[in-house]
Amino acid sequence: MPRPISATLSLSALTQNLNTIRGYAPHSKVWSVVKANGYGHGISRIWKSLSATDGFALLDFNEAVLLRESGWRGPILLLEGFFSAKDLAIVDKYRLTTAVHSEWQIKALAEAQFTRPVDVYLKVNSGMNRLGFAPACAGAAWQQLRELKQVGEITLMSHFATADSVEGVDAQMAAINLAGQNIRAPRCLANSAATLWHPHTHYDWIRPGIILYGASPSGEWKDIENSGLKPVMTLKSELIAVQELNAGDRVGYGGRYSVAGPQRIGVVACGYADGYPRHAPSGTPVWVDGVITKTVGTVSMDMLAVDLTPCQHAQIGSPVELWGGYLPVDAVAAAAGTLGYELLSALAPRVPVTTVG
């Protein structure tokens, strides 16, 4: 028999999430962000369930080629643009749209030969200080791009650092408006958080990422509890052993969890080699046999331990959900001091994945 751990993807939830997101920005087109292999869900498994999108956005050229060769004919946006002038041959061959965030990229475009003009997204650094032109330089970059026969439609693009917090987007919107005051072009600004909570940022295109997969951009599940978004991935396993322990007994590597009195401990076939966070402390929530309980002790490579005190009927073979429909991935991530983004995208290749409608 195979090891009992598996991940199940609800394709209907994915399609529903895209429809729900359109309801938040009914006048905008949608780039469905599928970077990091669809946030760990697998582009080849999920793209058809998102085929009603207006375009796909990602980083990796191999993933862009995969989409094209799988049959997607719509727009594909390279969110970080191209990394070398040599990449432009792939941009041309596979009809990709590319972000432009640096002067060297404009120069490379000017020296390239294409079979058709390439659409570009001119990226403005509105305060995150990762990629993009400073607001004062954006107008000149736009003018340079306009003068190139190699360039087709130009869209103004930026990204928000604090759309998911109380700080909001006002300061960054001021920088974007300064940059774009003399630029007559479509805009693409809103990430997942801005899509949900800042409708004045929607403009022509939105770029939802994590919310497509039913997790929260803020890391707080309650922030999207009533949004209509549904979790797509369920990571599940089973109890493979039960230990009856007494006061003073310890659990796991380092003996970091010590039993205060008689206690039943369950052992789950899931560990950090499956993508579960090794740094998750004792007390991280886990669903066992219909009950929310907690982990105990150190997560090991292939196993973790759970408290069976509230799960009186749990036994070997009882079902366990690490995250999914019963237990939001954001709740697990919060206990582990991280975000649902990391847990979903870190699903290990050794975990079998199945899809359901």
Using CA atoms, how far apart are residues 354 and 6, in angstroms rounded to an integer?
Answer: 8
Cα 144 to Cα 123, 139, 149, 270, distances in angstroms: 14, 9, 11, 53
Report residue 2: phi and psi, to 5°.
-70, 155
pLDDT value of position 280: 98
pLDDT value of position 37: 97
Burial environment of residue 132 by CB neighbours within 10 A (0 to 12, 13 to 18, 19 or more): buried
Cα 212 to Cα 48, 53, 76, 122, 161, distances in angstroms: 14, 11, 17, 25, 19
What pLDDT band is residue 83 in, cutting at 50, 70 and 90? Answer: very high
What pTM was computed for the model? Answer: 0.95
User: Catalytic residue at 35?
Assistant: yes
User: Catalytic residue at 39?
Assistant: no
What is the average pLDDT across 332-355? 97
What CATH code would you report for 233-356? 2.40.37.10
The tens digit of pLDDT for each residue in 116-138 reads: 999 999 999 999 999 999 999 99
The tens digit of pLDDT for each residue in 180-198 reads: 999 999 999 999 999 999 9
Report residue 139: phi and psi, to 5°.
-60, -45
The tens digit of pLDDT for each residue in 257-313 reads: 999 999 999 999 999 999 999 999 999 999 999 999 999 999 999 999 999 999 989
Q: Do domains 11-215 and 233-356 have the same CATH topology?
A: no
Query: Residue 8: enclosing H or E segment and its boundaries?
Result: strand 6-10
11-215 is a CATH 3.30.70.2190 domain: no
More confident residue, 215 or 1: 215
pLDDT value of position 328: 98
Q: Are residues 78 and 96 in contact, defined by beta-carbon separation less than 8 angstroms?
A: yes
C-alpha 248: how far from chain center: 42
Number of Cβ within a 10 Å radius of residue 233? 25
pLDDT value of position 5: 98
Considering the candidates 24, 35, 203, 257, report the single residue annotated as catalytic.
Answer: 35
Every domain of the chain and the residues it spans: 11-215, 233-356
- On the question of pLDDT at 112 being above 80, the answer is yes
pLDDT value of position 145: 98
pLDDT value of position 201: 98
pLDDT value of position 210: 98
Q: Which two tokens stand for residue 220?
A: 């707080």
Using CA atoms, how far apart are residues 221 and 215, in angstroms rounded to an integer?
Answer: 7
- On the question of pLDDT at 1 being above 80, the answer is no
The tens digit of pLDDT for each residue in 125-183 reads: 999 999 999 999 999 999 999 999 999 999 999 999 999 999 999 999 999 999 999 99
What pLDDT band is residue 220 in, cutting at 50, 70 and 90? Answer: very high
Considering the candidates 86, 93, 222, 253, report the single residue annotated as catalytic.
Answer: 253
pLDDT value of position 270: 98
Using CA atoms, how far apart are residues 101 and 79, in angstroms rounded to an integer?
Answer: 10
pLDDT value of position 333: 98
